[in-house]
Amino acid sequence: MNQPASSIACPAILVAAPASGQGKTTVTAALARLHARQGRRVRVFKCGPDFLDPFWHTLASGAPVHQLDLWMTGEADCRARLHAAAQEADLIIVEGVMGLFDGEPSAADLAQRFGLPILAVVDASSMAGTFGALAYGLQHYREGLRLAGVLANRVASERHADMLQGSLREPDQWLGALMRNPALTLPERHLGLVAATELSDAMERLDAAADALVDTPLGRMGTAELQRWIVNFPAADAVSRSQPLLGKTVAVAMDKAFCFIYAANIECLQALGALVTYFSPLADRALPACDAVWLPGGYPELHAERLSANYALRDSLRAHVAQGKPVWAECGGMMVLFDELVDKDGQRHIMWGLLPGKVTMQKRLAGLGSQQLLIDGEQLRGHTFHYSTSDTPLLPLVRTSRPEGNATAQDGEAVYVQSSVGASYFHAWFPSSPALVARLFSQGLQRVPQELSA
């Protein structure tokens, strides 16, 4: 079969499910680990905004994990990343988000746009014949989708597996069964999975999950069988980019308290010319020499006592701000900057006091969904996902909005500015607006360049 010279062929699969909680992440990581152990170069992507699942996929594959989302990251970005991965990989695995057809855009939209075959993972713990109906529905609900097969998860017995397999209208769609095993469940907390970097036995967990796949038809697929999943990935248009951050150093907080960092955001800063350096607000007593600071999201509420006691780093950050140097703080990064943090047990912690007010942990989600920040014609895309609320006398400089909303909608996140500090619950995908990102880490949001405000 002839293919355009600009396209690259590579086996690829999108791991999807009829709903959340079916086991997509475990199966994706297990499949990546299994093929990596066999010597294949595996690249994994995550559909939609997610910081935590990629920790597991990075460990399983041994390669960086990027997000794919037709709205947040954009079709051109998705195309470029898939094409680049296809040039170096033997297998590309994309983990879907929620149910196959859930969300706008959905995992099905992504699969259809790029011709990705779909592996459906179904929690079959409480069904028999309905398993076949679900498989048939996932395949035929929308025209143009390519179902590679179905994997039954949390199966009770071999007899149960036989019943599930017999329910399929197309027997060759059967890719096996994973037996019910609590050891194959990845640990969770209030924002999602516990990061693989926090667990000393993370690799052992992945190996156990990979071992469980070995005796399934899915696990027995070798190089020849993977050709059934071949996809041609077209090249994206080349993007020319200036380097407005050339010569500047951006210090990024990174430790157990601040770990919600898209790999693509670091790459974006570097592409803009910045030298990226890292520090730990939990352990370090001073900022590294830098021109700007990024405090990403994470779990400051789980480490509030240690963060509160790190007076030296707090004072170093205050000195940075006193010099007019920019700080961009997202979600957890913003939380630590307030005067006070009230944890889920009602305990109050004095924080760093660069923003007036307090944040309070809630028992339910306080913000969730795609968001965009619109400033002077630039659109920075991202999302929000948090369990805390803020109470501050500061008035927002601007609010984010949902993709279908407007910039004044009350369901948007406030963006606060105090001196050279910009802060919001909004998690930004930096490559969506390199120009605005360069501004965040050079002038900040208060000092508006004349050419942008005109």
Q: Is the pLDDT of residue 1 over 50?
A: no
Residue at 212: amino acid letter = A
Q: Is the pLDDT of residue 101 over 90?
A: yes
Q: Report pLDDT for 453.
A: 35
Q: Name the band, by pLDDT with cuts 50, 70 and 90, for residue 449.
A: very low
Mean pLDDT along residues 105-126:
96
Q: Report pLDDT for 200.
A: 74
Q: Report pLDDT for 52.
A: 84
CB within 8 A of 59, min separation 6: which ones? 29, 196, 197, 202, 203, 206
Per mean pLDDT, which range of 198-212, 262-276, 292-306 is the poorest? 198-212
Could you confirm whether 47 is annotated as catalytic? Answer: no
Per mean pLDDT, which range of 130-139, 239-248, 430-439 is the poorest? 239-248
Q: Supply 255's token pair.
A: 């430790």
Three-state SS string over the chain comes to CCCCCCCEEEEEEEEECCCCCCCHHHHHHHHHHHHHHCCCCEEEEEECCCCCHHHHHHHHHCCCCEEECHHHHHHHHHHHHHHHHHHHCCEEEEECCCCCCCCCCCHHHHHHHHCCCEEEEEECCCCCCHHHHHHHHHHHCCCCCCEEEEEEEEECCHHHHHHHHHCCCCHHHEEEEEECCHHHCCCEECCEECCHHHCCCHHHHHHHHHHHHCCCCCCCCCHHHHHHHEEEECCCCCCCCCCCCCCCEEEEECCCCEEECCHHHHHHHHHCCCEEEEECCCCCCCCCCCCEEEECEECHHHCHHHHHHCHHHHHHHHHHHHCCCCEEEECHHHHCCEEEEECCCCCEEECCCCEEEEEEECCCCCEEEEEEEEECCEEEEEEEEECEEEECCCCCCEECECCCCCCCCCCCCEEEEECCEEEECCEECHHHCHHHHHHHCCCCCCCCCHHHHC
Q: Report pLDDT for 410.
A: 61
Q: Is the pLDDT of residue 68 over 80?
A: yes
pLDDT tens for 300-354 read 999 999 999 999 999 999 999 999 999 999 999 999 999 999 998 999 999 999 9
Q: Is 294 exposed, middle or buried (0-12, 13-18, 19+ CB in 10 A)?
A: buried
Residue at 428: amino acid letter = A
Catalytic site residue from 10, 47, 268, 331? 331
CB within 8 A of 383, min separation 6: which ones? 49, 72, 369, 370, 371, 426, 427
Taking a C-beta distance cutoff of 8 angstroms, is the pair 300, 257 a contact?
yes
Mean pLDDT along residues 95-103:
95
Q: What is the percentage of the chain residues whose pLDDT exceeds 90?
A: 79
Distance CA 442, CA 327 (A): 9
Averaged pLDDT score across all residues of the chain: 91
Strands 348-350, 355-361: pairing is unpaired
Q: Report pLDDT for 194.
A: 63
Q: Name the band, by pLDDT with cuts 50, 70 and 90, for residue 74.
A: very high
Distance CA 240, CA 350 (A): 46
Q: Is the pLDDT of residue 190 over 90?
A: no
Taking a C-beta distance cutoff of 8 angstroms, is the pair 47, 109 a contact?
no
| Residue 123 dihedral angles phi and psi, to the nearest 5° | -70, 105
Q: Is the pLDDT of residue 166 over 50?
A: yes
| Residue 228 dihedral angles phi and psi, to the nearest 5° | -65, -20
Q: Is the peptide bond before 326 cis (omega within 30 degrees of 0)?
A: no
Cα dihedral value 17, 18, 22, 23, nearest 10: 0
Q: Name the band, by pLDDT with cuts 50, 70 and 90, for residue 442.
A: very high
Start-to-end CA distance of the chain, whole Å, equals 53
Q: Supply 140's token pair.
A: 């035929």
Q: Is 224 exposed, middle or buried (0-12, 13-18, 19+ CB in 10 A)?
A: exposed
Q: What is the percentage of the chain residues whose pLDDT exceeds 70?
A: 92
pLDDT tens for 11-41 read 999 999 999 999 999 999 999 999 999 999 9
Q: Is the pLDDT of residue 451 over 80?
A: no
pLDDT tens for 178-189 read 999 876 677 665
Mean pLDDT along residues 242-253:
96
Distance CA 349, CA 309 (A): 9
pLDDT tens for 276-305 read 999 999 999 999 999 999 999 999 999 999
CB within 8 A of 309, min separation 6: which ones? none
Q: Name the band, by pLDDT with cuts 50, 70 and 90, for residue 267.
A: very high
The domains of the chain, with CATH numbers, are 8-233 (3.40.50.300), 249-453 (3.40.50.880)
Q: Is the pLDDT of residue 3 over 90?
A: no
Q: Is the pLDDT of residue 406 over 70?
A: no
Distance CA 36, CA 45 (A): 15
Q: Is the pLDDT of residue 196 over 70?
A: no
Per mean pLDDT, which range of 82-86, 233-237, 276-280, 370-374 is the poorest? 233-237
Residue at 92: amino acid letter = I
Q: Is the pLDDT of residue 454 over 70?
A: no
Q: Report pLDDT for 452.
A: 34
